[in-house]
Amino acid sequence: MIIVSFATSFVLYEDDTCLCILDTSPVSHGHSLIIPKSHFPSLDATPPSVIAAMCSKVPFISNAIMKATGCNSFNLLINNGAAAGQVIFHTHMHIIPRKAFDCLWNSESLLRHPLNLDDEKVSQLATSIQEQLMVSDICQESKNEDFCSSKS
């Protein structure tokens, strides 16, 4: 179970696996968190069944948040690891209600550059990721931790 008490938070939803609360430092009106009841420090340490349970609640909870806030869009965000901005090391996902032109993220003004599909570095990156996915898949199927730890 979660060690931190949510007594001072507004609980919006709760079931056997997870709960949803209003974020105590919101970036927008209605900013909420879906949190597993059991402690997992990061997304990659969270069992797939718990992630599935959390994600299955997103449509239900986000629709209620959007109706209550008058928003018609939302960001679904997970900061996984310190470099990604994770400051609470307990898996959680943010539902951040959005309105057109709210200018919430500075990155929305950044220009994106198209991926050059003919670039050898892009091809190498794709191959490397595919290889890691195959190793991960083998590890999950075989449960052979010695093999998997040597391939990471």
pLDDT reported for residue 142: 65
pLDDT mean over 97-116: 80
| Residue 62, Cβ density class (10 Å: 0-12 exposed, 13-18 middle, ≥19 buried) | buried
pLDDT reported for residue 134: 87
Calpha distance 140→144 (Å, rounded): 8
Calpha distance 45→91 (Å, rounded): 8
Query: Phi and psi (nearest 5°) for 79?
Result: -90, 110
Fold of 11-101: HIT family, subunit A (3.30.428)
59-73 residue pLDDT tens: 999 999 999 999 999
Asked if the model's pLDDT at residue 78 lies above 90, the reply is yes
Which are the catalytic amino acids? 92
The CB density around residue 12, as the number of other CB atoms within 10 Å, is 18
pLDDT mean over 88-101: 94
- For the chain, the structural domain boundaries read 11-101, 120-151
- pLDDT higher at 22 or 101: 22
Asked if the model's pLDDT at residue 6 lies above 60, the reply is no
pLDDT reported for residue 1: 41
Asked if the model's pLDDT at residue 39 lies above 90, the reply is yes
pTM of the model: 0.80
Asked if the model's pLDDT at residue 23 lies above 60, the reply is yes
